[in-house]
Amino acid sequence: MFELDKVGKIYEMRNERVEAVIDVSLKVSEGDIFGIIGFSGAGKSSLIRLMNLLDRPTSGSVRLKGRDLTDMPSAELRATRQSIAMIFQHFNLINNKTVSANVSFPLEIARFPHAEREARVRECLSIVGLLDKLHAYPATLSGGQKQRVAIARAMANRPSVLLCDEPTSALDPHSSQEILDFLLKVNRELGVTIVIVTHQMSIVNEICNKVGVMEAGRLVETFSLANRAYQPVTDIGRLLTRHRDSSFNTQVESRRAYA
């Protein structure tokens, strides 16, 4: 569904040349919750911004359902981006707009009719359990509620892919768990493919079915968490696979059933 082929990104900073992403090839299948994990500075956030061309790759190609985003005319790329949503660590809500207006914002840009926008806003807020906050402002919400609004806004255009850049890093443990539950719900009930960037192994173990490990701008290994025969080559990979036991699988299945 989502394919990166030898993608690279170089930033020119004054007299410094920084290779943030180096020759990354990656395939994300439809229905995956694909985790990209690594330490700070590994290139994770740079990579996810290349996946929807918020940043344009210096080299390589990005394909969605076989279509090369890096070779699209601007108008076609804007239209295609509507199927790729993104949520961020710090929510990026518009503080002087209500919850309803925040969720409606991408629909206004896409010129949806007013009645359709209202119905879709209510539907999306219902998904994240915040219909009662329709007329509230972001300043009155908790961190977890703000991120749930961000998820609702991301789902407004009915995307096929949701990119998540450290979506729980700014939240307390209870709110983090709520967000993971809602991401599972979006994936399982709505069929949305999710790519989640994180430095937290607990998140990968909680909801991801596949994982890629990044180090110094390179994707050094990828594997399915269900593949018990796989022997990781990185320290992070080895730590992740230590949790692939029956109790872990039972926990994941119970959470998916709940979500």
Query: What tens digit of pLDDT does each residue of 159-211 get?
Result: 999 999 999 988 888 889 999 999 999 999 889 999 999 998 889 998 999 99
d(CA 140, CA 30): 37
Beta-bridged to residue 198, according to DSSP, are 37
- Give domain limits for the chain: 2-83+160-258, 86-158
221, 223, 228, 232: CA torsion to nearest 10: 10
CATH architecture type of domain 2-83+160-258: 3-Layer(aba) Sandwich (3.40)
- Regions of the chain short of the pLDDT cut 50: 246-259
Q: In the prediction, which pLDDT does 244 show?
A: 61
Q: In the prediction, which pLDDT does 44 show?
A: 93
Task: Answer for the pair 21, 8: CB distance below 8 angstroms, yes or no.
Answer: yes
Hey, what are 171's tokens?
């939240």
d(CA 232, CA 225): 11
Q: In the prediction, which pLDDT does 40 show?
A: 86
| Helices within the chain (DSSP H only) | 44-51, 74-81, 99-109, 114-127, 143-155, 173-190, 201-207, 235-241, 246-258
d(CA 50, CA 62): 8
d(CA 143, CA 139): 10
Q: In the prediction, which pLDDT does 208 show?
A: 94
d(CA 84, CA 198): 19
